[in-house]
Structure 1
Amino acid sequence: MTLGIRPAVLAGDSLYWTITGNWRAVLEFDLNRLSLAVIHLPLDKFAYCELWNITVMPAEGGGLGLLLVSDLTAQLWNRDTDCDGVASWVLRRTIELGELLSLNSEERQFVMIIGFAQYNNAVFLQTDISLFMVQLDSLQFKKFPEPYMGRCCHPFESIYAAGI
């Protein structure tokens, strides 16, 4: 078991990483309790996903979310807790990447998540021919002119608080 190559994501009061290995899971570090927990991903929902096509992200309204890319489809999942305190994964939204990015669905397209910009809620996707940044709230995207041949990118984001 090893941590994924992507940086941690802050959601609520915890940091989250994907765990790679023989099973699919998320490692949670609770910043208030200073404790670690492993959140197993249910095989009935995530068994078919490749480890490079799943990333943790903040869920809408806080908490833990997942982004899963399979073929030309992106799925956004939330980890919800019911009134009895039982947590489960709920599919929140599906995005047809082939239509959005005008990818040719006739040809087999390789799509891989290579980065996530948490504060802009944007995902970086590598395809056979190009690199795209997709803003998940507005579904606006940018196609970069040069192909990117890496397995991971760490988007730089900064927050500036104006002085008095």
Structure 2
Amino acid sequence: MAVQYNRRLVTAEDGGLGFASVDRTILTLFSMETGPNGAVGWVQRRVINLKSLLSDAGLLNPAFPSRLLTAGVNGFVEGTQLIFVGTFICVYMIDLKSGRITKVLDHGAEVLPHMSSCIPAMEAAST
């Protein structure tokens, strides 16, 4: 079973538009860049080998232990360097700045993180 979320628009390290893609176990991060002649395109910024970061339990197929599962981008936190990557077995949060990995789910799922809510003051809402 392949993960459906293997590509996603994200916030780039510089705060601009970014793109994250996973091909089997390779996470590639791109950012939108304007070239010297004004052409806009995707520029590869970083390549991360998930096999070297994630536990084997999250990448090995339990039915066929000799086969790796296909990973995918399950979500990201806008304005931060946090991205969620996983398979149908589990989901990990990767801090792209520190390289720290945290297992967040014991099953595959799309992740929609919520940082905070702000309710405007009544005076501001009435003007």
TM-score, normalization: structure 2?
Answer: 0.72
How far apart in 2 are the matches of 1:126 and 1:61? 24
How far apart in 2 are the matches of 1:140 and 1:79? 25
Q: Is the 8 A contact 2:26 2:47 kept in 1?
A: yes
Which has the larger Rg?
2
Number of the residue aligned with 1:21: none
Letter in 2 for 1:94: V
* Structure 1 runs not aligned, ≥5 long: 1-49
**Structure 1 residues 74 and 58: alpha-carbon distance in aligned structure 2, compared to 1, 3 A threshold:** same
Number of the residue aligned with 1:138: 98
Q: CA RMSD in A?
A: 2.4
Please state if 1:156 is matched with 2:114: yes
* Structure 2 runs not aligned, ≥5 long: 61-65, 119-127
TM-score, normalization: structure 1?
Answer: 0.58
How far apart in 1 are the matches of 2:55 and 2:111? 23
Q: Is the 8 A contact 1:119 1:157 kept in 2?
A: no
**Structure 1 residues 76 and 131: alpha-carbon distance in aligned structure 2, compared to 1, 3 A threshold:** same
* Runs of 4 or more consecutive aligned structure 1 residues displaced over 3 Å after TM superposition: none
How far apart in 2 are the matches of 1:149 and 1:92? 27
How far apart in 2 are the matches of 1:51 and 1:153? 13
Letter in 2 for 1:98: K
Shift of 1:134: 0.7
Instruction: Name the % identity.
Output: 28
**Structure 1 residues 110 and 51: alpha-carbon distance in aligned structure 2, compared to 1, 3 A threshold:** closer
Higher relative CO (Cα under 8 Å, sequence separation at least 6) belongs to 2
Q: Is the 8 A contact 1:53 1:112 kept in 2?
A: yes
